Structure 1
Amino acid sequence: MRPMSIGLIATLALAIGGGAGYWLAQQAQSGPAPTPEQRKALYWYDPMYPQQHFSEPGKSPFMDMPLVAKYADGTQDQAEPAVQITTGIQQNLGVRLTTVAQGRLERTLQVSGVLAFDERDFSVLQARTAGFVDRTYGRATGDIVAKGAPLADVLTPEWSGLQEEYLAVRRLGDGELQAAARQRLLLAGMPAELIERVARIGKVQNLVTLLAPSAGVIQTLDLRPGMSVVPGATLARINGVANVWLEAAVPEAQAQGLHEGQAVQAHLPAYPGEAVPGKLTALLADANPQSRTLRLRIELPNPDGRLRPGMSAQVVLHPAGQTDTTLLVPAEAVIRTGKRDLVMLAEDQGRFRPVEVVLGQESGGQVAVLQGLHSGQRVVTSGQFLIDSEASLKGIEAMTTQESPPAPALPALHEADGRIVQIEGNQLTIAHGPFLTLGMPGMTMTFPVSDPTLIVGLKLGQRIRFGVRERDEGMVIEQINALESQP
């Protein structure tokens, strides 16, 4: 028996050894599992320029580094490609979301400029005949003069001869000849006041006093004792100061809603705390092609002369607002590429995708969305650039406005009556009655409010009727109506 047992054991050992050897041989033939380097790459790219794809490996044409291979992601939904980020990673990245909502865009523009003279309020003093300056009155450029203030006495030989002829005709007593002689003096450029003085005194007036034609600031003055003047020469220019102009520039994209006659408020560093009322008098016809701005002309009254040309001023403009509500998102949520505008749309299960949008006016950190989004959708307001970079690495193209999905169906709005117990930040604690559509009995609960403006004007103990809608964060108040107090 013992020799037979030893032989059987030997036979079994040979059989087991042969089976193990066959298994190892099969494993050696099949080889190890493919490594990432052995998988088929979708394309190669430079991490610094992920938008550029290459069909073969090699060296980057942009940076001194080899191209990196991009492999297929088996977990990605090929039907609807998106970037998927877990909740924990979203918190680490500081990703913040906001809900696209309807609202009115209240626009306010602040522009700066420099005060200038009113170019419509100026007068020019010119010589009407040849003569010689006999005397000046000490005026200089920059002086403020009143209307009729004397500027210089000029000796006018040509006018002296005409005056003698006029006085001789008057002595004849012929009315027609007298009228003709007076008309000749007017055609020679003699002021009517001077003709009346010659007729009243009956003597030739050799010296003519030149007077300021209007009140204001002397801009130019070309009068010196002893100098000769020729007809048509400009002797003085005077600008009025009853009003001053302020020319400012606004971006052409924000000029919509501005119109002539619109009221404005100006603030000057020279007079802190004071607001100077004025009006927009003109939107100038030309635009600046370099800065893409339009020029505005604003008129400010200056009855006491405190506003001096050359002073700086800041003006607050209130363009005509929109009469209808529109979709609004924070301006920080928009990724501006120069060719188009994108937002990162947040979906369920931590999925994000870029969407192209068409923007309208912007004001107060909010921008109107004309196409590309629907009310109730959520977009990323912080961390969107990191998600967009990851989308570029995955080759995810932005959804265009023509491909925008239909508006998602919003959950039902449930309404109930209640009394405000506490107002804390953006939350309301309400002792409410039953929600009939939810089958929820009355109780005291704390609800977040979707729009902080809904809380404005509410008071503790006030009775309201409010509507809530179910969201990811729970029941959120979206509608509040004050109820009349019961007697």
Structure 2
Amino acid sequence: MSPIRSLSPARLALAAAAIALVAGAAGYGLGHLGKSPAPAPSTSAAGRKVLYWYDPMVPAQHFDKPGKSPFMDMQLVPRYADEGPSAASGVQIDPARLQSLGVRYATVERTDFADELTAPGVLEFNQRDVAIVQARANGFVQRVYGRAPGDVVRAGAPIADLLVPSWGGAQAEFLAVRRTGDPALEAAARLRLRLLGMPEGLIEAVARRGQAQTVITFTSPIGGAIQTLDVRQGMAVNMGQTLAQVSGLGTVWLTAAVPEAQSGQVRIGAPARIDLAAFPGEAFTGRIAAVLPAAQAESRTLQVRVELSNRGGRLRPGMYGTAHLGGTAHPALSVPSEAVIRTGKRAIVMVAGPGGRFQPVEVQLGREDGARTEILAGLSEGQKVVASGQFLIDSEASLAGLQAQAVGTAPATPPPQPRAALYETRGRIESLTADSITLSHEPVPAIGWPAMTMTFKLGSPALAKGAKVGDRVAFGFEQKPDGPVVQRLAPTGAQ
């Protein structure tokens, strides 16, 4: 008889149940063979959930685990779930990263802004002080006086002698009428000479001498520089022909190119101070005589004329100068110019808040005075803004989808900030100053810091009283936007 047949029915039932139990367990194990457990959310040492890792220099590229950046020689940085931006709080950045980026801050201040604007310019002749010497009758050039364009002449200086035949007969008739002693006839004869173009001085000279004068000396009516000279000895001239053009030098113009955006500050009659490259250290004063009505299309500037007195003829047309227009100072809200991010469509400033949070704010810009820029709208006095490193912070805000606060929008009231955490560790004092301490400290697991040597600010100078280089201490510090600050310091073993 076989062994199976020798078993009782009860034992057969028990064996079948055991076989079924083993088979069920084997089936469960085989069903889960090769399956890895579901990954738990990544967390930092402090228990904060990590969304992804990224390189601050290439923030758009995300990585699912920590390590070294493939783009730069640096470690990837975690993006935590609790760092998401909001309209009230902005984007939050780890203070240790801010310190490594060399972020600097500035305060929105009310400073004196001068209405003065500076514009380059060139000296020119005063085009309102020009004289034209013309032939008043047909004639011939008998003599020239050695003049040339560019010569400076006084008023009354001779230009050329002209023989005018047609004036000889008229002068003879005038003298004959004058000898009659009839005042009415003499007045009529004088009027005829004037209508022929004779100057009053020539008529008086003919009457005084009692003889006709057909060779006439044409002179410059004003003193100045000869611009054109179109007369040569022996040539024939016609009535109305220009012999010379003379520009006066008593006053000159400086034509300054004022940017279109600043032209609203220019007022006719306002004072102006001129610096000339030819006379360093010497200032010339004048007044704005005119603002030309048309802007220069190529440079988008308006031409402003400043009239200057030219005593002694020192100011020569063609000289280069700088015009300082206006000059009254008025208080205005301003920030360092380097704090402004200009995108082409708008201007943005990164406003620093508590807890390492930053909010991009759109601002309306005004004038520039040296290294500061006027803020017309968007900021309030006393706010802290980022003056260096704001481009990286702006990229963080853009990466997080945070929109800049528009001009004229009241900022949302931020939620109350919790008291800053105090991180505890131990270390050795390497150096000590009145307001800072350098420590070689042990790791700080709460924020993922390895052991390193770094400088901390002291919350109070009294904390370091009695401490010296080489002491081993236990200390606690807070993370603030401008770097870690030691708030507790005690020798090792002290409570």
State the TM-score, normalized to the length of structure 1: 0.69
The one-letter code of the counterpart of 1:331 is S
**CA deviation vs aligned residue, 1:159-183 (integer Å, no higher than 9, x gap):** 1111111111112222111111110
Partner residue, 1:99: 107
Alpha-carbon shift at residue 86 of structure 1 (Å)? 2.0
Partner residue, 2:269: 261
Whole-angstrom CA distance in 1 between matches of 2:326 and 2:22: 93
Alpha-carbon shift at residue 257 of structure 1 (Å)? 3.0
Pick closer, same or farther for the CA change 1:16–1:303 going to 2, 3 Å. Answer: farther
Whole-angstrom CA distance in 2 between matches of 1:131 and 1:49: 88
Alpha-carbon shift at residue 122 of structure 1 (Å)? 1.1
Q: Who wins on radius of gyration, i.e. which is larger? A: 2
Matched, 1:314 2:326: no
Partner residue, 2:471: none
The one-letter code of the counterpart of 2:402 is I
Indicate the SS of the match to 1:225: coil
Indicate the SS of the match to 2:81: coil
Pick closer, same or farther for the CA change 1:101–1:166 going to 2, 3 Å. Answer: same
Whole-angstrom CA distance in 1 between matches of 2:26 and 2:86: 46
Whole-angstrom CA distance in 2 between matches of 1:399 and 1:154: 80
Whole-angstrom CA distance in 1 between matches of 2:364 and 2:145: 67
**Please, which of 118, 124, 127 is the counterpart of residue 119 of structure 1?**
127
Pick closer, same or farther for the CA change 1:123–1:24 going to 2, 3 Å. Answer: farther
Matched, 1:234 2:220: no
Alpha-carbon shift at residue 74 of structure 1 (Å)? 2.1
Partner residue, 1:425: none
Alpha-carbon shift at residue 123 of structure 1 (Å)? 0.6
Alpha-carbon shift at residue 150 of structure 1 (Å)? 1.0
Alpha-carbon shift at residue 153 of structure 1 (Å)? 0.8
Pick closer, same or farther for the CA change 1:184–1:341 going to 2, 3 Å. Answer: same
Alpha-carbon shift at residue 22 of structure 1 (Å)? 5.6
**CA deviation vs aligned residue, 1:268-326 (integer Å, no higher than 9, x gap):** 2222222222222222222223322222111222111111111112233334443xx43
Moved more, 177-186 or 357-366: 357-366
Moved more, 372-381 or 209-218: 372-381
Matched, 1:388 2:394: yes
The one-letter code of the counterpart of 1:342 is I
Whole-angstrom CA distance in 2 between matches of 1:254 and 1:48: 39
Alpha-carbon shift at residue 472 of structure 1 (Å)? 8.9
Partner residue, 1:362: 368
**Please, which of 75, 78, 83 is the counterpart of residue 76 of structure 1?**
83
Alpha-carbon shift at residue 220 of structure 1 (Å)? 0.5
Moved more, 164-173 or 148-157: 164-173
Alignment of 1:460-479 (within 5 A): none
Moved more, 207-216 or 397-406: 397-406
Alignment of 1:37-436 (within 5 A): 74-77=81-84, 79-80=86-87, 82-322=90-330, 325-405=331-411
Q: Is the 8 A contact 1:257 1:319 kept in 2?
A: no
Q: Is the 8 A contact 1:117 1:241 kept in 2?
A: yes
**CA deviation vs aligned residue, 1:135-158 (integer Å, no higher than 9, x gap):** 111111111111111111100011
Alpha-carbon shift at residue 99 of structure 1 (Å)? 1.7
Structure 1 stretches of at least 4 aligned residues deviating more than 4 Å after TM superposition: 15-30, 47-51
Alpha-carbon shift at residue 332 of structure 1 (Å)? 1.4
**CA deviation vs aligned residue, 1:226-265 (integer Å, no higher than 9, x gap):** 1111111111100111111111112222334332222232
Alpha-carbon shift at residue 109 of structure 1 (Å)? 2.9
Q: Is the 8 A contact 2:366 2:373 kept in 1?
A: yes
Whole-angstrom CA distance in 2 between matches of 1:186 and 1:137: 26
Extract unaligned runs of 5+ from structure 1: 1-14, 52-70, 409-444, 447-470, 474-487
The one-letter code of the counterpart of 2:299 is S
Pick closer, same or farther for the CA change 1:391–1:82 going to 2, 3 Å. Answer: same
Whole-angstrom CA distance in 2 between matches of 1:150 and 1:317: 41
**CA deviation vs aligned residue, 1:91-122 (integer Å, no higher than 9, x gap):** 21111111222333224433222211111111
The one-letter code of the counterpart of 2:394 is D
**CA deviation vs aligned residue, 1:50-84 (integer Å, no higher than 9, x gap):** 69xxxxxxxxxxxxxxxxxxx99622335437332
Indicate the SS of the match to 1:186: helix
Moved more, 227-236 or 294-303: 294-303
Whole-angstrom CA distance in 1 between matches of 2:33 and 2:107: 56
Q: Is the 8 A contact 1:257 1:321 kept in 2?
A: no
The one-letter code of the counterpart of 2:342 is R
Whole-angstrom CA distance in 1 between matches of 2:412 and 2:307: 49
Let me know the Cα RMSD of the aligned residues.
3.5
Pick closer, same or farther for the CA change 1:238–1:397 going to 2, 3 Å. Answer: same
Extract unaligned runs of 5+ from structure 2: 1-20, 43-50, 62-77, 415-459, 462-479, 483-495
Moved more, 100-109 or 360-369: 100-109
How many positions carry a matched residue from both structures? 374
The one-letter code of the counterpart of 2:271 is A
Indicate the SS of the match to 1:277: strand
Q: Is the 8 A contact 2:269 2:287 kept in 1?
A: yes
Q: Is the 8 A contact 2:91 2:359 kept in 1?
A: yes
Q: Is the 8 A contact 1:375 1:407 kept in 2?
A: no
Whole-angstrom CA distance in 1 between matches of 2:129 and 2:29: 106
